[in-house]
Structure 1
Amino acid sequence: MSGYRSFVALGDSFTEGLNDPAVDGPGAGPAWAGRYRGWADRVAERLAALDPEFRYANLAVRGKLIDQIVEHQVPRAIGMRPDLVSFCAGGNDLLRPGSDPDRMAKKLAGAVRDLRATGAEVLLFTGVDPRDTPIMRRARGTFAIFYMHVRSISELYGCRLVDQWSMQGLRDWRAWSDDRLHMNEEGHRLVAAKVCEVLGIDCDDDWRKAWPPRDRVDPGVKRREDVQWVRRHLGPWVIRRLRGRSSGDALDPKRPELGVFP
């Protein structure tokens, strides 16, 4: 027994599970079957293997900002009164011009305080160091400030902390999907292994991944890949932001109710 009989995951696309393909199975609604799995589902699978009555909900929706998560997801989680709540947010905010990591941290701290008041264990996350990402590395200082706040909040309220900043395996592009914004199956597997370690849960995987050396990439091929990425991924993302839209505007959580997770 792990001690966690119920788990509610809050957040955005990272916790929803993009881009880790799922397989059809019980527990997922028909609109979500066969779509995305992700680190949270992977951790839930481990917890369910330890307790047949384990219950799980995933309220995360891609594209959500920290204010939206606090307003809509946190109250629902409080009402469910689970043993464990994960809260990972802020990435979408930090990518926007003029983001204020201090204000974001105050919003996060208030939500964590309310979640901890229910007696739930709260799991927080730093993000991955963006220094290897051509566009996001320009805002590396802003990211670092926010994640230092996350560390402080975790210490202040007695939370568990998953430090992705120190996960060197996530700095390799082979852990990421073609959009360069979301992890692939391997990336989510590494994060799930790290979460299990933080929670004290047995796991067959190891998050300390050492990737084999890669062949040298021809500069011309790399430039063509960059141009294709801008056209297919970055351009549409910028247009949505300029229009005040999000890829998750019309989506509901994939596991909106706390239920048994086979």
Structure 2
Amino acid sequence: METNPAYTSLVAVGDSFTEGMSDLLPDGSYRGWADLLAARMAARTPGFRYANLAVRGKLIGQIVEEQVGVAAAMGADVITLVGGLNDTLRPKCDMGRVKGLLTEAVERLAPSCKQLVLMRSPGRQGPVLERFRPRMEELFACIDELAERHGALVVDLYGAPSLGDPRLWDVDRLHLTAEGHRRVAEAVWQALGHEAEDPEWHAPLPTAVPPSWTARRIADLRFTRQHLLPWIGRRLTGRSSGDGRPPKRAELLPYEAPGA
């Protein structure tokens, strides 16, 4: 059952997760959960408007500096904010600063919209998650506290068994597949009070035969060559994958489906 009034606009704020990597479209652009959510909302509300300010690689300080003020000024009904996870994955991370910037973002965005949506980001099971789990959980505790204080919704993707499954993650091991993004869109859709289209989005995937040792090693080599080494190179040179890249949808305009 739908419990909330119809929302007429959505602004998405964040990094690559909200930009939509790795939900690749035929034209080479990315779709992602925010676009999928906007499409659903637009189907119910004529004239629905959507902006997506997310840019891959952005740290929480950059999100606050470049996106938060713009989003707040748009006066949208719904704003989604997902940020800080890129910071937790850096070797040197000042969690006090990260939480302070996230607090600033929430304090600026919450009064500017009807509903602010925050998320406990998903994490792919494996050694990387285990290494950074304490920082991530510290970040999520801050998100829960801010949501309670400012009346924001929290979508718990971190606690969803399906989104921890490696099969829902791209070969770069950092971004969800198209199916993963679909499940995130469903989770936010339900959090906003709409009737579930997939009540089991969070449920574990069916058991599958694990890949062989050889297949795993080939996948590890491919990951290292195509994704890990370039990522390390950017860190060493102070570059980001989002340098010079504009927001995905910089203006709050009526939503049109790709190819429309």
> Is the structural similarity TM-score above 0.5?
yes
Give SS of 1:256's match.
Answer: strand
Task: After TM superposition, give the deviation of residue 202 of structure 1 in Å.
Answer: 3.1
Task: After TM superposition, give the deviation of residue 34 of structure 1 in Å.
Answer: 5.2
Is 1:2–1:50's contact at 8 Å kept on the other side of the alignment? no
In structure 2, how many angstroms separate the alpha carbons of the residues matched to 1:119 and 1:77?
A: 9
In structure 2, how many angstroms separate the alpha carbons of the residues matched to 1:202 and 1:54?
A: 19
Query: Which whole-Å deviations, capped at 9, do the CAs of 1:194-223 have from their partners, x for residues lacking one?
Result: 101100123423413331221132123212
Give SS of 1:117's match.
Answer: helix
Instruction: List 4+ stretches of structure 1 deviating above 3 A.
Output: none
Q: Which moved more, 1:184-193 or 1:194-203?
A: 194-203
Flag structure 1 segments of 5+ consecutive residues without an equivalent.
24-32
1:173 aligns with 2:166: yes
- 1:148 aligned partner, one-letter code: A
Query: Which whole-Å deviations, capped at 9, do the CAs of 1:114-165 have from their partners, x for residues lacking one?
Result: 11222431100112245x2223421211111111111111111110101111
CA distance 1:141–1:168, shift in 2 (3 Å):
same
Q: Among 20, 23, 45, which residue is 1:17 paired with?
A: 20
Give SS of 1:36's match.
Answer: coil
CA distance 1:127–1:119, shift in 2 (3 Å):
closer
Q: Which moved more, 1:94-103 or 1:177-186?
A: 94-103
Q: Among 39, 48, 53, which residue is 1:45 paired with?
A: 39
In structure 2, how many angstroms separate the alpha carbons of the residues matched to 1:211 and 1:143?
A: 24
Query: Which whole-Å deviations, capped at 9, do the CAs of 1:15-37 have from their partners, x for residues lacking one?
Result: 000011236xxxxxxxxx65111
Give SS of 2:127's match.
Answer: coil
In structure 2, how many angstroms separate the alpha carbons of the residues matched to 1:146 and 1:94?
A: 8
In structure 1, how many angstroms separate the alpha carbons of the residues matched to 2:80 and 2:185?
A: 12
Q: Among 7, 28, 31, which residue is 1:4 paired with?
A: 7
* Alignment of structure 1 residues 108-147 onto 2, 5 Å: 108-129=102-123, 132-147=125-140
Query: Which whole-Å deviations, capped at 9, do the CAs of 1:32-83 have from their partners, x for residues lacking one?
Result: x651110001110111011111100000000000000000100111111111
In structure 2, how many angstroms separate the alpha carbons of the residues matched to 1:241 and 1:79?
A: 33
- 2:83 aligned partner, one-letter code: A
- Aligned sequence identity (%): 42
Is 1:16–1:37's contact at 8 Å kept on the other side of the alignment? yes
In structure 1, how many angstroms separate the alpha carbons of the residues matched to 2:210 and 2:18?
A: 33
1:58 aligns with 2:52: yes
Flag structure 2 segments of 5+ consecutive residues without an equivalent.
none
- 1:106 aligned partner, one-letter code: G
CA distance 1:168–1:14, shift in 2 (3 Å):
same
Give SS of 1:178's match.
Answer: coil
In the alignment of these two chains, the number of paired residues is 252
Aligned partner of 2:95 in structure 1 is: 101
Aligned partner of 2:224 in structure 1 is: 230
Q: Which moved more, 1:195-204 or 1:140-149?
A: 195-204
Q: Among 175, 178, 187, which residue is 1:194 paired with?
A: 187
Is 1:63–1:92's contact at 8 Å kept on the other side of the alignment? yes
Query: Which whole-Å deviations, capped at 9, do the CAs of 1:200-255 have from their partners, x for residues lacking one?
Result: 12342341333122113212321222122111111100110111101111211121
- 2:155 aligned partner, one-letter code: V
Is 1:2–1:201's contact at 8 Å kept on the other side of the alignment? no
Please report the RMSD computed on the Cα atoms of aligned residues, expressed in angstroms.
1.6
Give SS of 1:9's match.
Answer: strand
